[in-house]
Amino acid sequence: MSLVVAEAITKVFGARRRRRAVVDACTFRLEPGEIMGIVGPNGAGKTTLLRLVAGELPLTTGTLAVAGHRAGTRRARRAVGYAADPPIAPPELTGTEWLAYLASQRARSSGERARLVRSAVEVGETASFTARRIATYSRGMAQRLGLAAACVRNPAVLVLDEVLSGVDPLVHRRLRQQIASHARAGVGVLIASHDLAAIERLATRVVLLWDGRIVADVRAAALLAERVVELSLAGSALADAERFVARYPGATRTGQGVAVPLTGGLSAEAVLAACRDARLAVAASRVRYRALEDLLLAAARERGEPT
Amino acid sequence: MGAGPLAFRGEVVLGMLLVTRHRAVRLAGVLAVVVVGLALLAGDDGGAVARRQAVFAAGGSLAAVAASRLLAPGAALAAGRQTGGPWWRAPVGRLTGAWLVVAPPVAAAAVLLVGSVAGSWAAGRTAAVAALHVGAVGALVLAVAPLAGASAAAAVGLAVAWLGGVPPSVMGAALDAWPYLRRPVVLAWNTLPLDWRAGRWLRASTVEDLAVLAGWIALGCIVAAWAAARAYRRPDPPNGSEP
């Protein structure tokens, strides 16, 4: 059974002239054990989409079920662990008090509550600062507490908004491992981030949101299996780069030249041959795996956004 | 302890922590101590009635500021939603927590102030009524906070605590020149959990006064739960931030 089933969900803010669909007719499913990364530019609707799934906002239209229950209902909320950005926690409390409160809403005994808190402290790696007031936390500490708080009630679905931002690289790596281990245990994870490299490493599936719409929904493995040839063009050839990019679907400008995805049987040799035919002077070339950034840049180019 | 009682205790403890840790509540506590201290220093001037009014004003102020934190928009309100408990658990549990913090010192102040001029029986009765009054004012503020915000809710509670000693007949007479204003104000004065009603219950022990004060505790919790749900349905700003 899918953990999240979204059918044409729409969220509109404002009224009359200021009416604006922040999430627009999005349809997707999240399966157990799946980590769905949600990427997109600022204002794309990532946070709003997550808040809809978490039951923090009501839908305008569409249907959204979480663990078999309508989103926003008591049962659906109990199935979700939500880490908001910025994290929501009373600054007057200590991290331990906050986790103990959340655990008490799930536990059947004081012993189980203590166990849930210990487990959450491990997940968020908050042991070194959890006895301090939340008001004194740095951004990274608050994000880690947010992750711990999302996990403390053993939810079926984790909804994580920028939970990996602001943490140091070593903790970042261990938190990714913790999230992945939750997914291996059957938890469905929705994670939004601007950290494309982290999403590439973590997600099993990536959704690209743009103006509230899903413009790409790809398996991470399939995306990363694709290759891209990057060409650095000599100074005079840069002027013709735009024309060259237009010849290949998904091709984008880079700082020093162009990046062309090797899809549909296209080879790096064929691209280099096309450069020779077009009399473009190639200073250097390299073949690399396709990255999320290429997906994002291609989407931006299709919409005429500056890249 | 089962899951339900443990979850309820969690809300009670959260209520206590939200109240004891917030600086506004500590400031209100200082104000209440000053009021009680001034009433003590005034000696027997005004007798037990003036001292009771001081207790109700100080207790109501403290309860108003304390209860404004319990379901304030932000983490406190969101937590009640996210835990997915039954509708009554967060308001009732947190109000209980706040009451456990506020009622004992208010009752002690009542014993201290009234006991010396009216005897231990009157002091005990005043302490009991003050504890009930604190709960009723807290419930009123709790109901307002999710929709109006913590500051506005606290302001409503402070107005209730400080102006509530004026009886409805006096209020009505003062507003005789403004009949359109007089009617709703007198109606509010007769229905809200105000100090004059607590004082009248002490004097006359009417069931009506007890019912209004106790009824406000139940009504406040019900309205608070509704208001928390209403806050969820309210359109948020496009950036999705909490107000």
Q: Do A48 and B82 touch (CB under 8 A)?
A: no
Residue A193 in tokens = 């981030």
Q: Do B235 and A13 touch (CB under 8 A)?
A: yes
Cβ neighbours of A84 in B, within 8 Å: 78
* Location of structure tokens 């969900």: A9
pLDDT of residue A158: 96
Average pLDDT value for residue range B151-160: 95
Residue B2 has pLDDT above 70, yes or no: no
A70 at B interface, C-beta within 8 A: no
Residue B7 has pLDDT above 50, yes or no: yes
Nearest-Cα distance to chain A for B108, in Å, is 27
Task: Please count the residue pairs, one from chain A and one from chain B, whose beta carbons lie less than 8 angstroms apart.
Answer: 95
Q: Do B235 and A14 touch (CB under 8 A)?
A: yes
Cβ neighbours of B26 in A, within 8 Å: none
pLDDT of residue B155: 96
Which residues, other chains included, contact A59 with Cβ-Cβ below 8 Å and sequence gap of 6+? A9, A10, A11, A52, A71, A72
Ranges under pLDDT 50 in chain A: none
pLDDT of residue B237: 43
Of A217-226, B4-13, B220-229, the least confident? A217-226
pLDDT of residue B46: 66
Q: Which of B14, B21, B74 has the CB atom closest to A101's CB atom?
A: B14
Q: How confident is the model at residue B6 (pLDDT cuts 50, 70, 90)?
A: very high
Residue B240 has pLDDT above 60, yes or no: no
pLDDT of residue A165: 85
Cβ neighbours of B237 in A, within 8 Å: 13
Nearest-Cα distance to chain B for A15, in Å, is 10
User: What does the pLDDT look like over B22-58, one tens digit per residue?
Assistant: 999 999 999 999 999 998 888 776 677 888 889 999 9
Q: Which of B6, B235, B236 has the CB atom closest to A107's CB atom?
A: B6
A residues 156-175 closer than 8 Å to B (CB): none
Q: How confident is the model at residue B238 (pLDDT cuts 50, 70, 90)?
A: very low
Cβ neighbours of B10 in A, within 8 Å: 100-101, 103-105
Task: Provide ipTM, 2 decimals.
Answer: 0.87
B198 or A250, which is more confident? B198
Residue from A16, A24, A105, A162 whose CB has the most chain B CBs within 10 Å, to mutate: A105
pLDDT of residue A278: 80
A211 at B interface, C-beta within 8 A: no
Average pLDDT value for residue range B87-115: 94
Q: What is the pTM of this model?
A: 0.85
pLDDT of residue B236: 47
A138 at B interface, C-beta within 8 A: no
Q: Do A55 and B233 touch (CB under 8 A)?
A: no
- Please tell me which residue of chain A has the smallest CA distance to B13: A101
Residue B92 in tokens = 């009732």
